[in-house]
Amino acid sequence: KVLCAAGVVAGLLAFFWKDPFNPESLSGARVLLTGASAGIGEQMAYHYARFGAEIVLTARREGVLQKVVEKCLTLGAKNVFYIPADMSSPSEPEKVVQFAVQKLGGLDYLVLNHIGMTRFQMWAGDVEYTRWLMQVNFFSYVALATAALPTLEKNKGSLVVVSSLTGKIPTPFTTSYSATKFALDGFFSSLRHELIMQKRNVSVTLCILGLIDTDTALENTRGKVHLTASPAPEAALAIIRGGARRVQEVFYPWWLQHVCCLWVLSPGDRDQVLQSYYNYSSP
Ligand code: NDP
């Protein structure tokens, strides 16, 4: 409890303290952004464009990417390119990084955000789906980061990894998705240690998001949870600020940090409390 109270005080101090985020630092920054055709990724593309970044966008749907590119240009992006790619294919990550480096002449930010189709339902035994989702949500992140590390290191760049509360606290209806997000925390938090130990100047920012009002998330959770979704443009901005400030973890909404703290400190009734947010009928 003492630790939690200290955490709340620290959170409030951080909230009211002068924010060191400098939007000008993103003018001309070279960004490769995945999952950029919809949802939070699309909103990140528009923020980066307003800040005057040079961007490479990727996702599977070419027509939708073209529309996002057009809007980015009207918002002030210095340079915007796109490359359609399906991250379930193991050869795509390296191709996408090569394309971005060739178009932008290097990278300052790699923002890993895409996810494969998510089923919000109880485990029904589909092991093949879990394997596929691991490829899209986890192995492709590892491959993209590995291919981009040399250029990020050269430019003292940043790796930004979008995760979820369910990558810190296991929640119902998300078995495979939760596993992919826990895997991201394990891999990228370990990698962060190693980069620091080797004095390689690449920051790693892990972003822990609560429910956000993207079309897919609202559709998946409709009628199944008693939770209010937060706005995608705000979530997108929180991720970008965290990456630019080179912080280790971003929590959005901010109070999720205290939810994680309470989760660790009160093992007693926590499962029952968590389950009360879900709409389900027991047999
Ligand atoms: P969306 O479903 O809205 O967007 C997903 C993006 O990934 C789209 O651009 C989609 O484009 C792309 N994508 C889907 N499949 C593939 C694939 N096989 N290969 C390459 N790209 C693909 O997701 P959100 O915006 O809701 O989520 C963004 C991030 O935020 C994710 O990492 C998610 O885990 C995290 N998050 C979201 C929450 C929420 O409530 N929304 C809560 C917690 C975390 P296309 O179809 O064109 O390929």
Distance 7 CA to ligand 1 centre (A): 31
135 assigned to some structural domain: yes
* ipTM of model over 0.90: yes
Pocket of ligand 1, candidates 47, 88, 115: which has the most ligand atoms within 8 Å of its Cβ, to mutate? Answer: 115
Q: Which of 6-20, 67-81, 191-205, 238-252 has the lowest mean pLDDT?
A: 6-20
Distance 16 CA to ligand 1 centre (A): 31
Ligand 1: residue whose CA is nearest its atom 42: 211
Q: Which of 67-71, 184-188, 196-200, 260-264 has the lowest mean pLDDT?
A: 260-264
222 assigned to some structural domain: yes
Q: Which of 5-9, 128-132, 164-168 has the lowest mean pLDDT?
A: 5-9
Distance 216 CA to ligand 1 centre (A): 8
Identify the band that residue 118 occupies on the pLDDT scale cut at 50, 70 and 90: very high
Give the mean model confidence (pLDDT) for residues 43-68: 98
> In total, how many domains does the chain have?
1
Range of the domain at 188: 21-275
Distance 261 CA to ligand 1 centre (A): 27
- Beta-carbon contacts of 170 under 8 Å, excluding residues fewer than 6 positions away, are 178, 182
Identify the band that residue 89 occupies on the pLDDT scale cut at 50, 70 and 90: very high
**From 82, 109, 177, 252, active-site residue:** 177
Query: Is the distance from the beta carbon of residue 244 to the nearest atom of ligand 1 less than 6 Å?
Result: no
Query: Is the distance from the beta carbon of residue 169 to the nearest atom of ligand 1 less than 6 Å?
Result: no
36 assigned to some structural domain: yes
Give the mean model confidence (pLDDT) for residues 105-121: 98
Give the mean model confidence (pLDDT) for residues 89-101: 98
192 assigned to some structural domain: yes
Identify the band that residue 267 occupies on the pLDDT scale cut at 50, 70 and 90: confident
Give the mean model confidence (pLDDT) for residues 179-187: 98
Tokens of 158: 């940043």
Residue 15 has pLDDT above 60, yes or no: no
253 assigned to some structural domain: yes
Query: Is the distance from the beta carbon of residue 67 to the nearest atom of ligand 1 less than 6 Å?
Result: no
Residue 6 has pLDDT above 70, yes or no: no
16 assigned to some structural domain: no
Residue 125 has pLDDT above 90, yes or no: yes
Query: Is the distance from the beta carbon of residue 166 to the nearest atom of ligand 1 less than 6 Å?
Result: no
Identify the band that residue 20 occupies on the pLDDT scale cut at 50, 70 and 90: confident
Return the HEC string of the chain: CHHHHHHHHHHHHHHHCCCCCCHHHHCCCEEEEECCCCHHHHHHHHHHHHCCCEEEEEECCHHHHHHHHHHHHHHCCCEEEEEECCCCCCCHHHHHHHHHHHHHCCCCEEEECCCCCCCCCCCCCCHHHHHHHHHHHHHHHHHHHHHHHHHHHHCCCEEEEEEEHHHCCCCCCCHHHHHHHHHHHHHHHHHHHHHHHCCCCCEEEEEEECCECCHHHHHHHCCCECCCCECHHHHHHHHHHHHHCCCCEEEECCCHHHHHHHHHHCCCCHHHHHHCCECCCCC
Pocket of ligand 1, candidates 214, 219, 222: which has the most ligand atoms within 8 Å of its Cβ, to mutate? Answer: 214
- Beta-carbon contacts of 82 under 8 Å, excluding residues fewer than 6 positions away, are 36, 56, 57, 58, 62, 65, 66, 68, 69
Query: Is the distance from the beta carbon of residue 168 to the nearest atom of ligand 1 less than 6 Å?
Result: no
Ligand 1: residue whose CA is nearest its atom 6: 35
183 assigned to some structural domain: yes
Pocket of ligand 1, candidates 60, 140, 260: which has the most ligand atoms within 8 Å of its Cβ, to mutate? Answer: 60
- Rounded to whole angstroms, the Cα distance separating 5 from 13 reads 12
Catalytic annotation on 280?
A: no
Identify the band that residue 266 occupies on the pLDDT scale cut at 50, 70 and 90: confident
Atom of ligand 1 minimally distant from the CA of 216: 2
Give the mean model confidence (pLDDT) for residues 182-205: 98
- C-alpha closest to that of 100 among 157, 151, 61: 151
128 assigned to some structural domain: yes
The CATH number linked to 199 is 3.40.50.720
Whole-number pLDDT of residue 3: 56
What percent of the chain has pLDDT above 70? 93
Q: What does the mean pLDDT of the chain come to? A: 94
Distance 214 CA to ligand 1 centre (A): 9
- Rounded to whole angstroms, the Cα distance separating 176 from 71 reads 34
